[in-house]
Structure 1
Amino acid sequence: MLNSTYSHPSELTLTFVEMAGIKYAYSTLIFLCFAVIVASNCAVVSTIVAHRSLHEPMYILIAALSVNGLYGSAAFFPNLFINLLSKSHTIPYVACIIQMFGLHTYVGCEMAILAVMAYDRYVCICIPLRYNSLMSLYTVLRLIAAAWVYAVVQFTVQLVLTVRLPLCGSVVQKFYCDNWSVVKLSCVDTTANNIYGLFITAVILGLIPGTVLISYLRILRVCVRSSSTHRSKALQTCTPHMMSLTYFILDLISEALLNRSPANVLPIELRVLISVQVFVIAPFLNPLIYGLKLKEIRVKAKHMFCKVKIFGVDGKIGAQ
């Protein structure tokens, strides 16, 4: 029987960089970043939902990407903001598990949706005559639901393997909770966790990107044979997706390497900067990239928000 000392602690301590002189300035920056993420992603979602002409697979998938960005940001930013202003930097064990679930399912769902978007572009460009039958609204909604189910199932298995572990440490070497940081606190053999973790990493960083790469190689082959007009339109719709996918994969690779490297390899300030990118960059840049690159979203959003502003002014005049 395991010693009772080796159990789940009631609280875990998160590792924060000492920032006594700039704590409030940094907290303000974090709050503004969160506000921009919420506002921009909500703007993209509301624009797509409000305009029937945007109820097409590509735009519905962009809306799903923005909703997932809001979900991941909700799991990451509030606890970070609270701990920046706190003196203790602790988190209850249950809250740590909940944050782990939110962050890891966000990552899994993000990759799955990006893979579905690649398939959508492949069908649209390579076999356009079958596009309406293969990518109907019902099919797209099922694929989005499948992306969420995949993310939840793959991490639930990982979570079950983690919560069974007794912990003999209580200091998480990050300022948020992730699975590997908690597993490293265990006092027993974690071979099962390591094997499953490597399997998930291989799927997220190997199988899914490999599938996307094959789709885009086929798209590229079609574009080479097409007219300049068709090629330009294809690149216009594919470029934002490739940008999103590329920097998200690079962020995940950086995070994976950081998790497996000794703590003294990099200065803690640099480790902190690298570890937050995967939860900040994608939700921050995705709505900006799609809003700026895709004319349909940009024009509809501008029209909608200008109309709301004008309506508000008219309302005030009418009230007088």
Structure 2
Amino acid sequence: MKNVSSIGTSLVLLGIVEMEGFKYLYCSLAVIVYLLILLLSFMVVFVVLTEESLHKPMYILIYNLTLNGVFGSSSFFPKLIADLLTSSKVISRAGCLIQALCLSVFLYFEVFTFTIMAYDQYLAVCLPLQYVMLMTTVKTVKLIVGSSTFSFMVVLIAILLSARLPLCGVEIRNIFCDNMSVFILSCLDSTVNNLYGGIITVACLIFTMGIIAYSYLQIFITCFTLNRYSYKKAIYTLVTHLLNFLIFMVGAIFIFVRLRIGSDNLPIFGHIILSGSVAVFPPLLNPLIYGLRTNVLKIKIMNRLEKLRTLP
């Protein structure tokens, strides 16, 4: 095969080719979904940012989760919409690596944010008397900054490992770039990339899933010792967090299944559905679910909407 290792070489997104027949329909759906994500997300972000009473760990984490969803969807939707409108099916290798970097950081940071939220709820329910000292606003911000920095660094190393490889192909069976879709096109052995990605992913999942499982198990056990009001409140919060986390994990499992089935054994439309779900559903549903199920936040949002409605 011809060596196409130049960083300026354009790669072909076969997912866009697959969508060409109904591109205006898909484009309209993409615009609607993206605008909904922006509207719902910025509504939550604005309320948390401007309401001083919401400057607490739980709401800061919701704010962070919502903003991360905007970052992830913005790494995906604008180019998709532009490609569908212009019938463009190509992306430069540099642009492809940047998009893969952004989407991977979004995924890692999403997992870490859910982990911090689980830890926060564990302290709030299981150690309520010590919560104010153990989970301060400053500590929350430090955890967010630390996890975001770690996510960026581990993903950046993976992207740099892929950038050094010469490519012998240009076709990516998707509508956007992800790191594995790039390095499987390599002319050279990509064992280092596979090994690094596998070790980092497994280590992060074991660490985060362990904290999440322990936190929610302790919360569930503690709920039985609470009075009726506290029990209902704790269970309500627990269900909200679990619902959002499961939505994200379903999308993440889809990506795992897509990569393990094999590129040639799965139709291109299957790649679109499986990989696109994680970039669409969490950013769309997170602000919607938290906005509806978090009572204090819901009241603040409704008050703001009521004020807007009464403006002349």
Q: Bin the TM-score by the shorter chain.
A: over 0.9
Equivalent position of 1:293 in the other structure: 293
Q: Give the Å deviation of 1:309.
A: 2.9
- Contact kept, 8 Å, 1:258 with 1:275, in 2: the verdict is yes
Q: Distance in 1 between matches of 2:185 and 2:124?
A: 48
- Contact 1:205/1:249, CA 8 A, preserved across alignment: no
Structure 2 equivalent of residue 317 of structure 1: none
For 1:13 and 1:264, the matched residues in 2 are separated by: 16
Identity score, percent = 35
Once the two structures are superposed, the pairs formed by residues 150-165 of structure 1 within 5 Å of their partners are 150-165=150-165
SS across alignment from 1:22? helix
Distance apart, 1:205 and its partner CA: 3.5
CA contact (8 A) 1:8 1:166 kept: no
- 1:57 has 2:48 as partner: no
Matched with 1:10 is 9
Q: CA deviation at 1:86?
A: 2.7
Distance in 1, Cα, partners of 2:109 & 2:266: 29
Partner of 1:32: 32
Amino acid at match of 1:87: S
Cα separation, 1, equivalents of 2:295 and 2:206: 32
Match of 1:252 in 2: 252
Following superposition, the deviation at residue 209 of structure 1 comes to: 1.5
Match runs of 1:40-55 below 5 Å: 40-55=40-55
Q: 1:282 & 1:6 partners in 2: Cα distance? A: 34
Q: Does 1:206 align with 2:203?
A: no
The range that moved more, 234-243 or 27-36, is 234-243
Per the alignment, residue 263 of structure 2 pairs with: 263
CA distance in 2, matches of 1:5, 1:281: 35
Separation in 2, partners of 1:49, 1:86: 37
Cα distance, 1:21 vs structure 2: 4.3
Between 280-289 and 50-59, the greater mean CA deviation after superposition: 50-59
Change (3 A) 1:124 1:184: same
**1:7·1:168 contact (CA, 8 Å) conserved in 2?**
no
Q: Which moved more, 1:168-177 or 1:264-273?
A: 264-273
Q: Distance in 1 between matches of 2:163 and 2:5?
A: 13
SS at match of 1:128: coil
Query: 1:116 Cα shift?
Result: 0.3
Partner of 1:309: 309
Q: CA deviation at 1:6?
A: 4.5
1:204 deviates by 4.2
Q: Could you tell me whether the CA contact under 8 Å between 1:167 and 1:185 is conserved in 2?
A: yes
Q: 1:5: how far off?
A: 5.6
Deviation of 1:112 (Å): 0.6
Paired residue for 1:70?
A: 70
Q: Secondary structure at the match of 2:252?
A: helix
One-letter identity of the residue aligned with 1:117 = M
Number of positions where the alignment pairs a residue of Structure 1 with one of Structure 2: 310
Alpha-carbon distance in 2 for matches of 1:106, 1:310 = 37
**8 A contact 2:122–2:219 mirrored in 1:** yes
TM-fit CA distance, 1:9: 5.1
- Specify the code of the residue in structure 1 equivalent to 2:223: C
- Partner SS for 2:303: helix
| Distance in 2 of aligned mates of 1:219 and 1:21 | 50
Under a length normalisation based on structure 2, what TM-score does the superposition of the two structures give? 0.95
| Structure with greater Cα Rg | 1
| RMSD, aligned CA | 1.6
- Unaligned runs of at least 5 residues, structure 2: none
Task: Indicate the residue corresponding to 1:186 in structure 2.
Answer: 186
Counterpart Cα distance in 2 of 1:182 and 1:267: 18
**How far, CA to CA, are the matches of 1:146 and 1:170 in structure 2?**
36
Alignment of 1:97-136 (within 5 A): 97-136=97-136
Q: CA 1:5/1:69 → structure 2, altered by over 3 Å: closer, same or farther?
A: closer
On the 8 A contact 2:162/2:183 being kept in 1, the answer is yes
Gaps of 5+ in 1: 314-320
CA-to-aligned-CA distance 1:272-320 (integer Å, 9 cap, x gap): 1111001000000001110111111111101012112323x1xxxxxxx
Aligned-pair distance for 1:203?
3.2
Q: Name the residue aligned to 1:318.
A: none
Instruction: Tell me, yes or no, if the aligned pair for 1:122 and 1:216 is still in contact at 8 Å.
Output: yes
